[in-house]
Structures are given as structure tokens and as C-alpha cells.
């Protein structure tokens, strides 16, 4: 059987049947009501090379679509797409790319050549950048989807599947640790850059509501300060409180009120 045993598995239970091939085959045949290879097709995941081929096809579809719109297949070109139908097509194309990449992340025994092939199809930096762009576009279209009842609107048919962009490995605590590591490193010996930190936030659905605040906070920090995680956490909470106070003051001034009245 294929080895799907990984801490990033998005849902369900992780079961390891690697040493029980005969018992697994018998159980599959029994519960599927089928026999032989047909039973295995129903219940077992595809071999990794097959999934990589599917990834290749999905990336090619994304490239063909972007080129059909007169733009290069790069994250920065998504903003040049014209109209809701084009942006909706981008959502569908890249969601499929991300779905297959998430599936591949569950394979624990990919050989080096296969990993190299995957990276060549869509390098990690490009993938991360596309994730960030996807979430930006998806968030905007999702808000409009909820306000627009017209069933003929192309965005009404979209399923954004944000769960595909929510890594269980990257949570609030993990980000705070990375920020502390960022401030503790000399600029010339960077192990994680400001851009990489922001990229992690941009490409993870878990931080959609707080991403702007976190990015602004990161941009106030400098390397070499050696701030520990507790100081980072307290600084972030203080940063949010001060930002909120400034925004309230602007609203109060606009309406001729005291900030305390809001």
C-alpha cells in the first residue's frame, strides 16, 4: 500500500497497514463488494508518480489559462486578470494545484528524484506566493459571494476550500517563535527572512483575519535585537491595541466624538 502517514494530514485518522498487505487486500475486497484490482482502485490512493503526473497536468492547465489571458504564469500577474470570470477560473485552476500538492504532502517515502520533479513543476517560493494571491482573491470573492444572490454570477459557483490552505503545522505559537528567531539573528546570517515570514502568513488561511496586523508588526521589527518569544507576544498585543486606538481616534474625529464614546 502507499504510505500516507504524515503530521500534516488535514483530517481523519492516520492508520499504518504497511505490514498487513494480505489482510488489507482481503478487507478491501470484502467491504467494496468487488474483487481484485477493481477493489483496490476503489479504496487505495494512487501511487505517488501518478499523483505527480496529475500535478503536472494541473500546473499545465493553470499555465494555459494564464497565457490565454495574455499574462505570464506568475503570482504577480494574477492582479492583471480582467473580470470575475477570469478570476474565478484562476481560483478553480490553482485550487486543483493546491489540492494535489496537499495530497503529495501526505506521502512519506517520496524518492529524491520525485521530489525534484515536484519542485520543478512549481517551485516552493512560487507555490507560496500563489497561495497568498489565491487567499487574497478568494477572500474578496467570498465576501461578494455572500452579498450577491444572483445564481448566474460566476463567483456563486465557487468553492474556495480554505481548508487546503490551512496548515496544522503553522499556528500562532509557531509564528511567534519564528518572529523571535528572526529578531535574534544577525542580518548577514539570516536563517529566515522577513519575506519568508510574511510569505508563511500570506499563504495560510488560518491567519486571514489577522494577517494584516501581523505583517505590519513584523515590518516594525529589525534583526539582531534578540527579542525572546514572550517579548514578541507582548509587543504584538501592544501593537494591536495601539493600532486599534489610532483607528478609533480617526473614526471619532470624523464624527466629532470622543474616542471613549465609541
- Which of 214, 97, 107, 106 is closest to 165 using CA atoms? 97
Q: How far apart are CA 127 and CA 112, in angstroms?
A: 19
pLDDT of res. 169:
55
The model's pLDDT over 197-219, given as tens digits with 9 standing for 90+, comes to 887 787 777 788 888 899 999 99
Inform me whether the pLDDT recorded for 74 exceeds 80. yes
Instruction: Tell me which of 77 and 125 has the higher pLDDT.
Output: 77
pLDDT of res. 155:
78
Inform me whether the pLDDT recorded for 37 exceeds 70. no
pLDDT of res. 43:
44
Pick from 5-19, 32-46, 133-147: least confident: 32-46
Q: Could you tell me the CA-to-CA distances from 92 to 124, 134, 161, 166, 192 in Å, in that order?
A: 20, 10, 10, 17, 31
Please give the share of the chain, as a percent, with pLDDT higher than 90. 32
Cβ pair 249, 257 in contact under 8 A:
no
pLDDT of res. 42:
44
The model's pLDDT over 102-146, given as tens digits with 9 standing for 90+, comes to 888 878 778 899 999 999 999 988 998 898 889 888 888 888 887
Cβ pair 155, 145 in contact under 8 A:
yes
Rounded to 5°, the CA angle 110-112-114 comes to: 60
Inform me whether the pLDDT recorded for 80 exceeds 50. yes
Average pLDDT of the chain is 80
Inform me whether the pLDDT recorded for 231 exceeds 80. yes
**Ranges of each domain in the chain:** 1-45, 46-165, 172-261
Instruction: Tell me which of 233 and 9 has the higher pLDDT.
Output: 233
Inform me whether the pLDDT recorded for 40 exceeds 50. no
Which residues does 136 contact at the CB level (< 8 Å), separation at least 6? 202
Please give the share of the chain, as a percent, with pLDDT higher than 70. 76
**Mean pLDDT, residues 171-178 taken together:** 80
Which residues does 76 contact at the CB level (< 8 Å), separation at least 6? 129, 133
Instruction: Tell me which of 175 and 18 has the higher pLDDT.
Output: 175
Which residues does 100 contact at the CB level (< 8 Å), separation at least 6? 51, 54, 55, 58
pLDDT of res. 147:
80
Amino acid at each position: 500500500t502507499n504510505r500516507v502517514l504524515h503530521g500534516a494530514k488535514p483530517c481523519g485518522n492516520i492508520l499504518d497497514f504497511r505490514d498487513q498487505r494480505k489482510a488489507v487486500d482481503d478487507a478491501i475486497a470484502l467491504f467494496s463488494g468487488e474483487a481484485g484490482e477493481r477493489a483496490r482502485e476503489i479504496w487505495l490512493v494512487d501511487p505517488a508518480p501518478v499523483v505527480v503526473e496529475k500535478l503536472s497536468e494541473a500546473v499545465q492547465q493553470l499555465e494555459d489559462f494564464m497565457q490565454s489571458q495574455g499574462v505570464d504564469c506568475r503570482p504577480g500577474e494574477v492582479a492583471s486578470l480582467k473580470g470575475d470570470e477570469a478570476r474565478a477560473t484562476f481560483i478553480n485552476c490553482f485550487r486543483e494545484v493546491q489540492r494535489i500538492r496537499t495530497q503529495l504532502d501526505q506521502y512519506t517515502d517520496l524518492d529524491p528524484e520525485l521530489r525534484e520533479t515536484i519542485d520543478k513543476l512549481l517551485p516552493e517560493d512560487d507555490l507560496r506566493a500563489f497561495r497568498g494571491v489565491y487567499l487574497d482573491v478568494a477572500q474578496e470573492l467570498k465576501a461578494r459571494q455572500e452579498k450577491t444572490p444572483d445564481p448566474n454570477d460566476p463567483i456563486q459557483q465557487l468553492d474556495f476550500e480554505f481548508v487546503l490552505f490551512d496548515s496544522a503545522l503553522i499556528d500562532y505559537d509557531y509564528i511567534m517563535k519564528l518572529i523571535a528567531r528572526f529578531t535574534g539573528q544577525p542580518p548577514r546570517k539570516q536563517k529566515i527572512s522577513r519575506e519568508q515570514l510574511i510569505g508563511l502568513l500570506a499563504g495560510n488561511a488560518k491567519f486571514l483575519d489577522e494577517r494584516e496586523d501581523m505583517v505590519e508588526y513584523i515590518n516594525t521589527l529589525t534583526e539582531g535585537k534578540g527579542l525572546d518569544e514572550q517579548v514578541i507576544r507582548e509587543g504584538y498585543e501592544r501593537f494591536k491595541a495601539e493600532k486599534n486606538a489610532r483607528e478609533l481616534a480617526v473614526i471619532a474625529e470624523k464624527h466629532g466624538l470622543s474616542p471613549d464614546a465609541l
